[in-house]
Amino acid sequence: MKTAMSISPTRRQAALDALKLDDESLLKACEVDYFIASGPGGQHRNTTASGVRLTHAPTELSVSATERRSQVQNKGVALERLREGLKVLTFVPKVRRATKPTAGSKRRRLEGKKRTSEKKALRNSKSGW
């Protein structure tokens, strides 16, 4: 998947609009492809076009489902995956701003370092090495 920063505002808006639709309307907005799913599942799965691919043109998002032997069940799974993908497209990341440490935090850090340094210096002087 692409990162959230590279998603265009028009694509994000198209995803928001698509999420508002009910399942039937969302399916009408998608291009639905049926294909023969390969893999385990027996002769029924390997000879029927039970695999489903949904392509939502406005967002250029494509998902597929081939887990089930039933085309109807795979269509439901693909629709759930499409909604999850659309939710990912709608995410707007927070703008991160660089911060600098305050003068007080710098002073406290240096004081802590000095204390640690003095402690270690005392260890060496007592041991006599």
Q: Using CA atoms, how far apart are residues 71 and 52, in angstroms rounded to an integer?
A: 7
pLDDT band, very low/low/confident/very high, at 5 (cuts 50, 70, 90)? low
Backbone angles phi, psi at 55, to 5 degrees: -120, 115
Q: Using CA atoms, how far apart are residues 37 and 73, in angstroms rounded to an integer?
A: 13
The conformation of residue 100, written as its DSSP 8-state character, comes to -
Longest dimension (CA), the chain: 86
**What three-state secondary structure class fits 16?**
helix
The model's pTM is: 0.66
Spell out the domain ranges in the chain: 9-90
The string of pLDDT tens digits covering residues 41-67 is 666 667 788 899 999 999 999 999 988
pLDDT band, very low/low/confident/very high, at 69 (cuts 50, 70, 90)? confident
Report the pLDDT averaged over residues 79-88: 94
> What are the E-state strand segments in the chain?
30-35, 51-56, 61-65
Q: What is the CATH number of domain 9-90?
A: 3.30.160.20
Mean pLDDT for all residues in the chain: 87
48: Cα within 13 Å, side-chain hemisphere: 13
Burial 1-16, CB ≥16 within 10 A → b, else e: eeeeeebeeebbebbe
- pLDDT at position 79 over 90: yes
